[in-house]
Amino acid sequence: MIQREIKENIKTQLTSKQKIIILYGARQVGKTTLIKKIIKTFKGKILHINADEKVYNETLSSRDFSKLSGLVDGFDLLFIDEAQRIPDIGINLKILHDNLPALKIILTGSSSLDLANKINEPLTGWIFTNILYPISILEWQNYTGLNDYSTALKLEEFILFGMYPEIFSYKNFDQKRKYLDDLSKSYLYKDILTLANIKYPEKLNQLLKLLAYQVGQLVSLQELATTLQIHRDALLNYISLLEKSFVIFRLPGFSRNLRKEVVKMDKIYFYDTGIRNALINNFNSLQLRNDKGQLWENFLMAERMKSNAYNKQFTNSYFWRTYSGAELDLVEEKDGKLNGYEFKWGNKQAKAPVSWTENYSNSTFKCINSDNFIQWLRIPRNSK
C-alpha cells in the first residue's frame, strides 16, 4: 500500500487531548483507507459509522445527549465517514465533546460543502483540519523506490490517467479509462447533487467539460454563463461547489500594478488530470495532442499543491500576466518573497520575462521542465 505523507501528522494529532480530527478530500482519494490504517493500532474500542448508510444519522443529528451517549457508550474513539451527510453534525459533536472530553473523534468528508460550516463555528479552536489529495508523485516514488529517471519514464501515464489510488491497481489502460469514466460522470461530485440545491444538474456536467477545455487559460465567467445560458451568480455558485468538493481549484492573478497586470480573471485547474481527460474523453498519447502543455501545467500545479500542503509550506499562489503578453505560470509568495515559475514540457528552457525582473527585482525565477520537476517538488519540511 502506498504510504501517504499526511499519515504521521494525523497520528500525532490523535495523541492530542480534546481535539477533533477532520480529514477532507474528494471521494476515492483514500480517506477511509488511511484512517483505518491509522487507528488499526489504537488501544481502545472503536465505533466506525459510515454516514452514507444513514443508519445512525438521526441519532447523530438529534441534539439529545442521552441519545448521543447511548450511541457512543463504551467506545473510546468515534470515526464518522462521509460526515457531511449528517445534519447539524457540528452542534452534536460539540455536545459530545463538552460532555465526553475523553472520547476521540475523527471525521472524514468528501466535501467541505456543508461540513466546514456546520463544524467550524460550534467547535472553533477544537479542530485539526487536514486535506488528503490524490496520490502524489513523491508518494508513488517513495513506495516504488524508483529513482528520478525511472519515475520520469512513468510521467506520461501519470498525466493521462491521473493519480487516484485505485488507478494504480489497474495495469490495463482500458480498465483505467473505465474507472475514470465512471468516477467523473457523477460519483465524484455526488455531494453537490444531493446536498446542494442544483436546479439544472446537466449544466454542472456542461460546465465541467468547458472548464476541462480551458485548463491553463484565463476563464471568462461572463462567457461561460452565456454559453451555458445561466445567470452569472448561478455559475459562480456551481464553481464554488466544485471547489468545495475538491474537483477544481482556482488560481488568481498576481499584481502590484493594476494598470499593467491581469487580475480580473482566474485560471481554473483540476485536482487530477485523469478526471480532466475523462471529461473530454481524450486519453491519446501526449505526442498526438495539442493540449500537452495545458496538461503539464495542470499536473504540476496539482503536484505542487500537494507538496506545499504536506510539507506545511504556507504560500500564496498566483499566475502572473501583463496585458502586453508577458506571463509566468506560477508565482508563490511566502514571507514577503516572490518566486516565479514557468512550466515547459520536455527539456525546454525559458528565461524570466524582462518586465518581471524589472518590476520585481528581489524575486527569483525558475523554469520547471521534465528534467527538474521532481527536485522542485521535493520540498524540505519547514523550509524557508
Where would I find the H helices in the chain?
7-14, 31-39, 57-60, 65-72, 89-99, 115-120, 137-144, 148-153, 155-161, 173-185, 190-195, 201-213, 221-228, 232-244, 273-279, 292-310, 354-359, 373-377
Q: Which amino acid is at 176?
A: K
Does some domain include residue 383?
no
Question: Could you tell me the CA-to-CA distances from 100 to 16, 74, 126, 138, 231 in Å, in that order?
Answer: 15, 11, 14, 40, 47
Going by C-beta distance under 8 Å and a sequence separation of 6 or more, which residues neighbour residue 306?
Answer: 5, 133, 136, 138
Query: Looking at the domain assignment, is residue 111 inside a domain?
Result: yes
Provide the domain limits for residue 279: 137-377
Q: Are residues 123 and 141 in the same domain?
A: no
Is the residue at 37 inside a domain?
Answer: yes
pLDDT band with cut points at 50, 70 and 90 for residue 382: low
pLDDT at residue 85, as a whole number: 86
Q: Are residues 173 and 119 in the same domain?
A: no
Tell whether 177 and 276 lie within a shared domain: yes
Distance CA 68, CA 142 (A): 42
pLDDT score for 75: 97
- For 370-383, what is the mean pLDDT? 85
Residues linked to residue 303 through DSSP beta bridges, in sequence order: none
pLDDT tens string 129-171: 999 999 999 999 999 999 998 888 899 999 999 999 999 999 9
Does residue 33 lie in a domain region? yes
Question: Do residues 74 and 149 both lie within one domain?
Answer: no
Q: Taking all residues of the chain, what is their mean pLDDT, rounded to a whole number?
A: 91
Lowest mean pLDDT among 198-212, 324-338, 361-375: 198-212
Same domain, 75 and 194: no
> pLDDT tier at 125 (50, 70, 90 boundaries)?
confident
Which residue did the predictor score with more confidence, 113 or 340? 340
One domain, residues 186 and 307: yes
HSE-up of 186 (CA within 13 Å, CB side)? 4
pLDDT at 117: 63
373 assigned to some structural domain: yes
Across 319-335, average pLDDT: 95
**Euclidean distance between CA atoms 295 and 276, whole angstroms:** 9
52 and 186 share a domain? no
Asked whether residue 106 carries a pLDDT value surpassing 90, the answer given is: yes
% the chain with pLDDT above 90? 73
Number of domains the chain is built from: 2
Predicted pLDDT of residue 381: 61
Average pLDDT of the residues in 268-282: 97
The pLDDT of residue 273 is above 70: yes
Residues 237 and 372 in one domain: yes
Q: pLDDT-derived band of residue 186, with 50, 70 and 90 as boundaries?
A: confident
Q: Domain ends where: 113, 131, 149?
A: 131
Looking at the structure, do residues 105 and 152 belong to the same domain, yes or no? no
Tell me the backbone φ, ψ of residue 49, rounded to 5 degrees. -120, 125
Overall average pLDDT of the 203-230 stretch = 94
And the C-alpha cell for 134? 490524490
Task: Please check whether residue 204 lies inside any domain of the structure.
Answer: yes
* Residue 309 falls inside a structural domain: yes
Note the pLDDT of residue 384: 45
Q: Are residues 115 and 219 in the same domain?
A: no
Q: Are residues 110 and 216 in the same domain?
A: no
Domain end marker among 75, 96, 131: 131
Residue 382 counted as domain residue: no
Residue 227 sits in the same domain as residue 366: yes
Please indicate whether residue 279 or residue 110 has the higher confidence score (pLDDT): 279
* CATH at residue 106: 3.40.50.300
Quote the cell numbers at residue 240.
464554488
Final residue in a domain of this structure, among 73, 98, 131: 131
